[in-house]
Amino acid sequence: MTVSTTDSYADDQAPPRYSGGYVAMRSIKKKLFPTPFQSFITLVTLVLLVWFTPLALDWLVFSANFVGDSKADCVGGGACWLPVTQRIDLFVYGFYPDMEIWRVNIAFGLAAAILPLLYIKRINRRWIVGYLIVLPLVMWWLLKGGAGLEEVSSTKFAGILVTVFLGVIGMLFALPIGILLALGRRSKKPVIKLLSVLYIEFVRSVPVITLLFMASLMIQFFLPEGLTIDIFMRVLIVLIMFTAAYMAETIRGGLQGMPSGQFEAADALGFSYWKTMSLIILPQVLRNTIPPLLTQFIGLFKETTLVVVVGVLDVVGIAMSTTSAPEWLGLENEIYFFLALFFFVICFTLSCYASHLEKQMDKNRS
């Protein structure tokens, strides 16, 4: 907390100044070599880094092959990136018709636009919320077609397209549902409370894979003859419902941490329940729960890979089919490394973004 008016007195002294070199030396000594044991660890780590980094770089980049048509073009001891570069369209767009790929690109662009949009402070919150509500619908329409666009069967969806689509739409729907579940669990109305508790506890006690199998097999039993829901839609719903249950618990924790004075002040000023929640309590709770919520978003993004088990080919599915394709046999290392890199880049970006958001909000506060 900073005090707004700092009084200065005649006997105030400027803090002592040291040269930059001295400060650097002192911090190196303090952080890397504080005790003999820690100095030893620092040295071992340094040796490993010096030994390992050139080897890794050599395999990944310097001796690696990036151009060519088939496995035969891979010479030298380095990585063979050809299965990725040759099949990059398959990895990104799956079996989407070539003519319609622009639609996927627009959908990706719209999804990526969320980050800068949240970044810019001057934009009215209402526009952002509106964008986030409309975005999943627009994405669905772009990818699936209809209403002016050529329809594309969801059996053609595969690769990064599926991963991004499930991840982004899952996130956008899971948060509001999670909020409602959290409020439901704290509700004073017994029926709403019971339903929320049952739902959250059921979903949390069952592995996602089970839920996915249920979605792919069981739901069909309960639907009337002839009516089928797209398998893609079904796994999406499972992922949303699953993430929402976990988010509900995180948000509930945040709600419990709110000082009761905030509820009392809102009550005393005549705010209704929904206004209290949306204008006063939730903005504070969401701010406090950004780190765990983001962990769950990242978790959701990685959990989308489980859809492989019910026959939806996401980026992992494409990778697996590539490793077993006869012309690229024996290149698992490269393919799975690419897969790991893909997930790392996206998840790490999200994580950096969240820590930036946190700092921004702290600055706002004091």
Site for another protein, rule CB under 8 A: 1-4, 259, 261-262, 264-265, 267-272, 275, 279-280, 283-284, 287, 364-366
The residue (of 191 and 268) whose beta carbon lies closer to another protein is 268
The residue (of 29 and 275) whose beta carbon lies closer to another protein is 275
The residue (of 44 and 265) whose beta carbon lies closer to another protein is 265
The nearest distance, CB 276 to another protein, in angstroms, is 10
The residue (of 155 and 262) whose beta carbon lies closer to another protein is 262
DSSP 120: -
The nearest distance, CB 2 to another protein, in angstroms, is 6
Among candidate residues 278, 273, 252, the one with its CA nearest the CA of residue 200: 252
The residue (of 59 and 271) whose beta carbon lies closer to another protein is 271
The residue (of 39 and 256) whose beta carbon lies closer to another protein is 256
Q: Which residue has the tokens 């990725």?
A: 84
The nearest distance, CB 354 to another protein, in angstroms, is 18
CB atoms under 10 Å from CB of 301, counted, come to 22
The nearest distance, CB 211 to another protein, in angstroms, is 36
Q: Which residue has the tokens 């650097």?
A: 24
The nearest distance, CB 362 to another protein, in angstroms, is 10
Among candidate residues 248, 113, 259, 228, the one with its CA nearest the CA of residue 179: 248
The nearest distance, CB 14 to another protein, in angstroms, is 25
The residue (of 285 and 339) whose beta carbon lies closer to another protein is 285
The residue (of 27 and 272) whose beta carbon lies closer to another protein is 272
Query: Do residues 284 and 337 make contact, with C-beta atoms less than 8 angstroms apart?
Result: no
Radius of gyration of the chain (CA): 26
Query: Do residues 166 and 239 make contact, with C-beta atoms less than 8 angstroms apart?
Result: yes
Task: Classify 295 as helix, strand or coil.
Answer: helix
What phi and psi values does residue 264 have, to the nearest 5 degrees?
-65, -45
The nearest distance, CB 365 to another protein, in angstroms, is 5
Query: Do residues 62 and 47 make contact, with C-beta atoms less than 8 angstroms apart?
Result: no
The widest CA-to-CA distance across the chain, in whole angstroms, is 88
Query: Do residues 244 and 299 make contact, with C-beta atoms less than 8 angstroms apart?
Result: no
The nearest distance, CB 77 to another protein, in angstroms, is 57
Among candidate residues 285, 309, 289, the one with its CA nearest the CA of residue 297: 289
d(CA 319, CA 330): 13
Query: Do residues 255 and 285 make contact, with C-beta atoms less than 8 angstroms apart?
Result: yes
